[in-house]
């Protein structure tokens, strides 16, 4: 079992996060946000394999790349098309669906489920390709406390934050890992075999198993041999106000979360500006990681108002609060900053836009 992640897009441009959960039985892929150009580095097979797309919110730097995702998957019927986001996600995505000419759709079929996430509940809307996505079918509301989505090897939780519009903070938790204690297996004189799989699958219906001609109770074997360890977890956090109440609330939710992937929009010297736009500074992101007891903090979604040397200063100030802070390693920011060049190939552009 494993959970791996990759930040898509480059420094100072739109970003997204691709998470891959390998449960041993299946590999599931989750995409968080879809800014402009974020999918350009992925193979078509990778885009076709994405199981869920989660939006933090629908500002254009988080959704501008959705056309590329939709272009690849609009007629996918090999697996469900599931998209998640804050209130109004279904409305906004329906506009995206209908931004194309459809005249051959009646012979094709694919179903899209778009879920608007509110605190404590989720409203799902279904769209059909054969209807040219013209009808928003209400699939109803379900209560949702804690887990939002449960896959084979993971659960996803969502917390509503404030960005002058609701933004969702996501936590991806790998399900507990179940392993057989091989030393206990040897001491019981049992030989490993296909029966081991039955012990790990808690959903199995058998009560007993025959090993070398002897019948054993599965329940007792589980108690004797199964070792359960907590899986990895990571958080995807971007574009929201992190004042003291939000810091307190979120650090409690993120307790035990190993990796925190968080926006690095503003220098702490620009705290007033960050608060005005309901964004974070790198020091606030680091404070959250420190209070949550995380193992590492990965900063992404950097503002292009700064130049590469500013980004390195922002990293240094975050590290003073939370030492294990870094940018995605493939951005190679350190080397480029030392060479005095902007990672985007030109000087940083001053900008007053803040999404
Ligand atoms: Zn935004
Ligand atoms: Zn943004």
Q: What is the pLDDT of residues 273-325, one digit of tens each?
A: 999 999 999 999 999 999 999 999 999 999 999 998 999 999 999 999 999 99
- Greater pLDDT, 58 or 225: 58
For the question of residue 181 being annotated catalytic, the response is no
Q: What is the pLDDT of residue 317?
A: 96
Q: Which ligand is nearest to the CA of 241?
A: 1
Residue 50 has which token pair? 């994405």
Closest CA to 258 of 295, 290, 285: 295
H-helix or E-strand containing 219?
Answer: helix 218-225
| pLDDT tier at 350, thresholds 50, 70, 90 | very low
Residue 323 has which token pair? 């030492």
Q: What is the pLDDT of residue 336?
A: 57
Task: Sort strands 2-8 and 16-22 into parallel, antiparallel or unpaired.
Answer: antiparallel
- List C-alpha distances in Å: 107 to 104, 110, 161: 6, 10, 42
Which of 61, 116, 239, 270 is labelled catalytic? 61
Share of the chain above pLDDT 90, in %: 71
Q: What is the mean pLDDT of the chain?
A: 90
How many Å lie between the centroid of ligand 2 and the Cα of residue 29?
Answer: 22
Mean per-residue pLDDT for 159-182? 92
Whether residue 60 contacts residue 353, with contact meaning beta carbons closer than 8 Å, is answered with no
How many Å lie between the centroid of ligand 2 and the Cα of residue 267?
Answer: 16
How many Å lie between the centroid of ligand 1 and the Cα of residue 159?
Answer: 16
Q: Which ligand is nearest to the CA of 58?
A: 1
Residue pLDDT, tens place only, 177-218 = 888 888 888 888 888 888 887 777 766 677 888 888 888 888
Which residues lie below 8 Å from residue 255, measured CB to CB, with a gap of 6+?
292, 293
Distance of CA 218 to the CA centre of its chain: 36
Residue 35 has which token pair? 């800014």
Reported pTM: 0.88
Residue 173 has which token pair? 């938790």
- First and final C-alpha spacing in the chain: 36
| pLDDT tier at 230, thresholds 50, 70, 90 | confident
If one counts every other C-beta atom within 10 angstroms of the C-beta of residue 271, the result is 14
How many Å lie between the centroid of ligand 2 and the Cα of residue 266?
Answer: 12
Dihedral, CA of residue 148, residue 151, residue 153 and residue 158, to nearest 10: -20
How many Å lie between the centroid of ligand 1 and the Cα of residue 56?
Answer: 8
| pLDDT tier at 338, thresholds 50, 70, 90 | low
How many Å lie between the centroid of ligand 1 and the Cα of residue 163?
Answer: 7
Size of the chain, expressed as the number of residues it contains: 355
Q: What is the pLDDT of residue 207?
A: 83
Closest CA to 152 of 253, 14, 20: 20
How many Å lie between the centroid of ligand 2 and the Cα of residue 28?
Answer: 26
How many Å lie between the centroid of ligand 1 and the Cα of residue 298?
Answer: 19
Q: What is the pLDDT of residue 57?
A: 98
Q: Which ligand is nearest to the CA of 301?
A: 2
How many Å lie between the centroid of ligand 1 and the Cα of residue 60?
Answer: 8
- Which residues sit with Cβ closer than 5 angstroms to ligand 1, an ion? 59, 239, 355
- Which residues sit with Cβ closer than 5 angstroms to ligand 2, an ion? 61, 239, 355
Number of alpha carbons in the 13 Å side-chain half-sphere of residue 252: 6
């Amino acid at each position: 079992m494993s959970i791996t992640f990759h930040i898509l897009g480059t420094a100072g441009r739109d970003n997204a996060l691709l998470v891959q959960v390998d449960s041993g039985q299946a590999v599931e892929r989750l995409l968080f946000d879809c800014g402009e150009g974020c999918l350009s580095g992925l193979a078509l097979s990778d885009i076709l394999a994405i199981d869920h797309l989660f939006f933090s919110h629908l500002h254009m730097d988080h959704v501008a790349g959705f056309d590329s995702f939709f272009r690849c998957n609009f007629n996918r019927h090999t697996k469900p098309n599931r998209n998640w986001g804050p209130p109004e996600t279904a409305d906004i995505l329906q506009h995206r669906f209908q931004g194309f000419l459809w005249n051959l759709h009646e012979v094709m079929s694919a179903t899209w489920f778009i879920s608007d996430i509110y605190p404590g509940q989720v409203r799902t809307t279904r769209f059909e390709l054969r209807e040219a996505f013209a009808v928003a079918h209400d699939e109803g509301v379900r209560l949702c406390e804690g887990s939002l989505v449960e896959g084979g090897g993971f659960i996803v939780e969502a917390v509503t934050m404030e960005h002058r519009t609701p933004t969702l903070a996501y936590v991806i938790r790998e399900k507990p890992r179940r392993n057989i204690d091989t030393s206990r297996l040897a001491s019981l004189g049992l030989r490993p075999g296909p029966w081991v799989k039955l012990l790990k699958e808690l959903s199995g219906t058998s009560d007993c198993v025959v090993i070398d001609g002897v019948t054993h109770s599965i329940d007792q074997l589980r108690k004797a041999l199964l070792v359960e360890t907590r899986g990895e977890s990571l958080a995807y956090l971007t574009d929201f106000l992190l004042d003291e109440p939000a810091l307190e609330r979120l650090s409690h939710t993120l307790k035990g979360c190993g990796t925190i992937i968080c926006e690095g929009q503003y220098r702490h010297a620009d705290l007033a500006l960050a608060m005005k736009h309901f964004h974070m500074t790198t020091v606030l992101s680091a404070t959250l990681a420190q209070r949550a007891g995380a193992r590492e903090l990965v900063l992404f979604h950097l503002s292009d108002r700064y130049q590469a040397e500013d980004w390195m200063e922002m990293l240094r100030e975050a590290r003073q609060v939370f030492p294990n802070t870094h940018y995605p390693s493939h951005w190679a920011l350190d080397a480029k900053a030392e060479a005095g060049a902007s990672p985007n190939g030109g000087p940083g552009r001053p900008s007053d836009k803040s999404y």
